[in-house]
Structure 1
Amino acid sequence: MSGNDPYTFLKTLIATEEAHAQARPGKPSRPPLIVTVSRDYGAGGDEIAHQLAEKLSVPLYDREILELAARKAKVDPLHFAEIGDCRSSSVSNFIFSLLTGSAGNLEIYRRALFESVLELAQRDCVLVGRGAHLILSGKRTFRLRIVGSRLICAKRVAQENGLPLEAAERKVYEINNKRHKSIENLFKDSYEHCSLNYAKNFDLILNTDRIAAEKAVPIILLALQQTGFDLSKPAARAPSH
Structure 2
Amino acid sequence: MDERTVITIGREFGSGGHEIGMKLAERLGIKCYDKELLELAAKESGLCEDLFASQDEKPTNSFLYSLVMDTYSLGYTSSYMDMPINHKVFLAQFDTIKKLAQRESCVIVGRCADYALEDNPFAVSVWIKADLDVRIQRIKKLYDLSDNKAADMIQKTDKRRASYYNYYSSKKWGEAKSYDLCLDSGQLGIDGSIDLILKYIELKEKNNKQ
Bigger drift between 62-71 and 51-60 goes to: 62-71
Once the two structures are superposed, residues 38-79 of structure 1 have per-residue CA deviations (whole angstroms, 9 ceiling, x without a partner) of 111110111111111111111111112212222233222221
Q: Give me the TM-score of the superposition, normalised by structure 2.
A: 0.84
Q: Contact between 2:17 and 2:128, CA under 8 Å: does it hold in 1? A: yes
Q: Contact between 1:83 and 1:96, CA under 8 Å: does it hold in 2? A: no
Q: Does residue 149 of structure 2 align to residue 170 of structure 1?
A: no
Once the two structures are superposed, residues 100-130 of structure 1 have per-residue CA deviations (whole angstroms, 9 ceiling, x without a partner) of 2364213322321221001111211111111
Shift of 1:32: 1.6
Once the two structures are superposed, residues 174-212 of structure 1 have per-residue CA deviations (whole angstroms, 9 ceiling, x without a partner) of 11111111112222xxx2xx2112211211111112222
Structure 1: any 5+ residue segments left out of the alignment? 1-29, 231-241
Q: Does residue 162 of structure 2 align to residue 180 of structure 1?
A: yes
- Supply the distance in 2 between the matched residues of 1:109 and 1:78 (Cα, whole angstroms): 11
- 2:56 aligned to which of 68, 78, 84: 84
* Percent of paired sites with the same residue: 24
- Supply the distance in 1 between the matched residues of 2:14 and 2:175 (Cα, whole angstroms): 20
Q: Please give the residue correspondences for 1:120-159 in structure 2 after superposition, counting only pairs within 5 Å.
A: 120-122=100-102, 123-140=104-121, 141-159=123-141
Q: Cα RMSD (Å) of the superposition?
A: 2.0
Q: Give me the TM-score of the superposition, normalised by structure 1.
A: 0.74
**Match of 1:121, SS?**
helix
**Match of 2:205, SS?**
coil
Partner of 1:116: 96
Partner of 1:61: 33
Name the count of aligned residue pairs.
Answer: 194
Q: Contact between 2:57 and 2:111, CA under 8 Å: does it hold in 1? A: no
Q: Does residue 180 of structure 2 align to residue 203 of structure 1?
A: yes
Q: Contact between 1:36 and 1:133, CA under 8 Å: does it hold in 2? A: yes
Q: Contact between 1:75 and 1:100, CA under 8 Å: does it hold in 2? A: no
Q: Moved runs in structure 1, 4+ residues, more than 6 A?
A: none
Structure 2: any 5+ residue segments left out of the alignment? 72-80
